Structure 1
Amino acid sequence: MKRVYLDNGATSYPKAPGVAEAMSDYILNNGANVGRGAYESSFLAENIVYETRELIAEMFNSNKSENVVFTKNVTESLNVLIKGVLEAGDHAIVSSMEHNAVMRPLNALSKKDISFSKVKCSNLGELDPDDIRGFIKPNTKAVIMTHASNVCGTILDIETVGRICKEYGLIFIIDTAQTAGFLEIDINRLNADAIAFTGHKGLLGPQGLGGFVVTESLAKSIDTFIEGGTGSLSDQEIQPEYMPDKLEAGTINIPGIYGLNAALKFVRDTGTETIRAGEIDLVERFLTGLKEIDLIHVIGRDDIKNRTGVVSIDVPTRDNADISYKLYSEYGIATRCGMHCAPSAHQTLGTFPKGTVRFSFSHFNTIEDVDYALGALNKILY
């Protein structure tokens, strides 16, 4: 049976050329830790780690690669940022389209006298940035917001949000899990203080590696999330204050960094504009075809304006889980059905608690994949 992978919103497949080879080469031919040994293989690994920080800094237009911190995924990145910034008595603002990687840490912090407000988006997943002003309080400290919805693909106007944050002196934290790798993301132009990313989605790298970039001012003020060995100041029992050691305790995922290094070079050399253009072609073809299937309701925008390669559908007269199951069991098409770890977004979009069938395309999908999926939907529904 043909295999068509359309679940890139969860993790990308296939990975960028060279990712597997780079990881294998490290494991088979190097294997050394970084910052822990004064020998050649350790230095070689350190060079790749440093180069990867530079590639990330370049992608987000940061001039300080030492302010690139590696984590195991964007969820950990957001936890480090949220819990390192907010203190008892603080208030934060989020959109109603947020993933649980934002909502669960904030709800956990509510037990520590930290509150938050949720700005309602439209049933298309769109945010009116001016609505944020009505939620700003004297104790508001930060705005934490996704760049694009992982449910319906709507891109939020974070540039305007960033200007509002600058106007009010608020910390601005952006979740780029669904956009890094195919949209331009400039930490300076967006007036962002921190950008959280994951390596295994749009960046086309391996699972188990994410990170974030912070400005110099936030690097100085943020509290540590965990403490431990860094390979530096080993004669002291306190965490170093300099970056990235301040926020990067323990052994990092070096095989993953080797893989991400190869993926970042592929994205850089291919060009985010080229990747984005290909994505738009696929989504436009898919949305056009969906409009011809009258049983299907497209969630969010039904055009290509301000959206990513994520498309969610609902079939009101059918069980979405059954549709997703048949897409795979009968046609080999991998999608994701359900709540997508974003109940607030589904409530906003009117799809709670039923959820949706989510199709998410990548740079490596083709028009043939799109047409095959549309044909399968027609056969399943009629």
Structure 2
Amino acid sequence: MSIYLDNAATSFPKPNMVADSVYHFMKNIGVNVGRGSYGRAQKAGEIVYETRKLLCQLFNHSNPEHVVITSNVTEAINLAIRGIVTPGGHVITSSVEHNAVWRCLKMLERDYNIQISTVPCDRSGTTDPEIIEGMIRPNTQLFVFTHASNVLGTIQPIRQIGTIARRHNILFLVDSAQTAGAYPIDMQADCIDILAFTGHKSLLGPMGTGGLIVKSEGMIRPQKAGGTGRDSLSPYQPEYLPDCLEAGTLNVSGIAGLGAAVNFILGETVEAIRNKEQSLTDYALNQLQCLDKVIIYGPGNPGKMVGVISFNVSNVPAVEIAYVLDEVYEIMVRAGLHCAPTAHSLIGTELTGTVRMSLGYFNQKEDIDRVVLALSEVLSKV
């Protein structure tokens, strides 16, 4: 039986109710939202609105109309950054961002002369929030931080960073790609103005789903325009949420699956999911540390990280380790830079990459035992 350990890329398997909900919508409803007054269209609208409500419940936000649906977290992040930062503006971000943030910022730097400040962090990938305050400028428009590194697993001090942003009246955007559904997020207590999420990772939903949860109206300028199903006579994009940021047909079948996934998470509870994944991470770290020639990166403390473990084997390319694990042992991990070159620059692996083992809620200790056994056999031959 194969073992899947690439949950940081996309979670697998999904709860059965996710696929059931997608199938039910496509088979029995299958119509657009806001484009008709007939019964099925109203039912489709109810499914979308219920998913917005569930996401608000999960992240402690009060207004479902402020949940903006996108196709993934990359689109959501680009929508937020490009809709907030203006030419000549200044952004503060971390040193371990995914390319969804970093490339967007660098393109704005090149094309619109924005300024970027990256906050130094230690070798484990932890940001020191005390440094941030001294980096604020008169033209600082946005803080954007990943909640947890997709390379090192390091959880960032979001609440402290959000408090600083709130004190200085600067918008705070959080990329929750690696934490949403697997780690508690409270938009109110964490002082998060805009939360970017994706459905297909720890939210356990379908690919092609994601979005933003926005604290209040007017924070983000629309970046695309088109049909919304309401106010069609106006030649301009509506100014109210979510319509101002949602143009065109939504992925309603995917949203149906996402709603089912969030329902599953709320039933299991984020705390239970976090406890299980933390226990698995602790076990994996302890087992890997017993292997000679295995170099582990990141905090090494399961309480300070999500279930993402990057490692290398001395003198063996990361891609070769991943290939052997798959071809010989049917173990699926990822090798490379994981779309986050700044994190690899921090740990000195920008030329080699790492092997990344990312755990999910449906993994078991036996999966880790098989990885360790496989690595032991590989190491005996090098």
TM range (shorter): over 0.9
Contact 2:175-2:196 within 8 A present in 1 as well: yes
Contact 2:93-2:116 within 8 A present in 1 as well: yes
2:359 to 334, 337, 361: 361
Larger displacement relative to structure 2 (298-307 or 253-262)? 298-307
1:283 to 278, 281, 284: 281
How far, CA to CA, are the matches of 1:130 and 1:97 in structure 2?
A: 17
Q: How many angstroms does 1:370 deviate by? A: 1.0
What is the percent sequence identity of the aligned residues? 44
Q: What is the identity, as a one-letter code, of the residue corresponding to 2:146?
A: T
User: Could you say what secondary structure the match of 2:86 adopts?
Assistant: coil
Q: What is the identity, as a one-letter code, of the residue corresponding to 1:356?
A: T
Residue by residue over 1:214-270, the C-alpha shift from the partner in whole angstroms, topping out at 9 and shown as x without a partner, is: 111xx3132101110000011121111111001000000001001001101000000
Q: What is the identity, as a one-letter code, of the residue corresponding to 1:115?
A: Q
Q: What is the identity, as a one-letter code, of the residue corresponding to 1:160?
A: Q
Contact 2:335-2:354 within 8 A present in 1 as well: yes
> Within 5 A, what are the aligned runs for 1:230-241?
230-241=228-239
Residue by residue over 1:143-171, the C-alpha shift from the partner in whole angstroms, topping out at 9 and shown as x without a partner, is: 10000000010101111101111122211
Contact 1:17-1:266 within 8 A present in 2 as well: no
Larger displacement relative to structure 2 (250-259 or 312-321)? 312-321
User: Could you say what secondary structure the match of 2:324 adopts?
Assistant: helix
Q: How many angstroms does 1:352 deviate by? A: 1.3
How far, CA to CA, are the matches of 2:119 and 2:299 in structure 1?
A: 19
Q: How many angstroms does 1:317 deviate by? A: 1.6
RMSD of aligned residue pairs (Cα, Å): 0.9
Structure 1 match to 2:249: 251
Residue by residue over 1:151-210, the C-alpha shift from the partner in whole angstroms, topping out at 9 and shown as x without a partner, is: 010101111101111122211000000000021111111111100000000000000000
Calculate the TM-score normalised by the size of structure 1.
0.98
How far, CA to CA, are the matches of 1:236 and 1:320 in structure 2?
A: 55
Residue by residue over 1:65-104, the C-alpha shift from the partner in whole angstroms, topping out at 9 and shown as x without a partner, is: 1000000000000000000000012100000010000011
1:380 to 362, 378, 381: 378
How far, CA to CA, are the matches of 1:135 and 1:328 in structure 2?
A: 45
Q: How many angstroms does 1:304 deviate by? A: 1.3
How far, CA to CA, are the matches of 2:169 and 2:39 in structure 1?
A: 46
How far, CA to CA, are the matches of 1:28 and 1:305 in structure 2?
A: 43
Aligned length: 379
Structure 1 match to 2:14: 15
Q: What is the identity, as a one-letter code, of the residue corresponding to 1:147?
A: H
> Within 5 A, what are the aligned runs for 1:82-161?
82-110=81-109, 111-161=111-161
Structure 2 regions of 5+ residues with no counterpart? none
Structure 2 match to 1:162: 162
Structure 1 36/343 Cα, relative in aligned 2: closer, same or farther at 3 Å? same
Structure 1 regions of 5+ residues with no counterpart? none
Structure 1 match to 2:175: 175
Q: How many angstroms does 1:303 deviate by? A: 2.5
> Within 5 A, what are the aligned runs for 1:28-107?
28-107=27-106
Q: How many angstroms does 1:316 deviate by? A: 2.7
Structure 2 match to 1:210: 210
User: Could you say what secondary structure the match of 2:249 adopts?
Assistant: coil
Contact 2:278-2:303 within 8 A present in 1 as well: no
User: Could you say what secondary structure the match of 2:248 adopts?
Assistant: coil
Q: What is the identity, as a one-letter code, of the residue corresponding to 1:9?
A: A
How far, CA to CA, are the matches of 1:376 and 1:25 in structure 2?
A: 41
Structure 2 match to 1:315: 313
Q: How many angstroms does 1:367 deviate by? A: 0.9
Structure 2 match to 1:346: 344
User: Could you say what secondary structure the match of 1:149 adopts?
Assistant: coil
User: Could you say what secondary structure the match of 2:309 adopts?
Assistant: strand
How far, CA to CA, are the matches of 1:305 and 1:55 in structure 2?
A: 27
Q: How many angstroms does 1:312 deviate by? A: 0.5
Q: What is the identity, as a one-letter code, of the residue corresponding to 2:11?
A: S
2:270 to 269, 272, 277: 272
User: Could you say what secondary structure the match of 2:218 adopts?
Assistant: helix
How far, CA to CA, are the matches of 2:168 and 2:232 in structure 1?
A: 41
Q: What is the identity, as a one-letter code, of the residue corresponding to 1:146?
A: T
User: Could you say what secondary structure the match of 1:305 adopts?
Assistant: helix
Q: How many angstroms does 1:305 deviate by? A: 2.6
Structure 1 match to 2:193: 193
How far, CA to CA, are the matches of 2:214 and 2:219 in structure 1?
A: 11
Q: Any runs of at least 4 consecutive aligned residues in structure 1 with deviations exceeding 2 A, and if so which?
A: none
How far, CA to CA, are the matches of 2:337 and 2:235 in structure 1?
A: 44
How far, CA to CA, are the matches of 1:221 and 1:103 in structure 2?
A: 21
Residue by residue over 1:268-311, the C-alpha shift from the partner in whole angstroms, topping out at 9 and shown as x without a partner, is: 00001111111011111111111110210111122313110000
How far, CA to CA, are the matches of 2:231 and 2:251 in structure 1?
A: 21
Q: What is the identity, as a one-letter code, of the residue corresponding to 1:63?
A: S
Contact 1:123-1:350 within 8 A present in 2 as well: no
How far, CA to CA, are the matches of 2:282 and 2:365 in structure 1?
A: 10
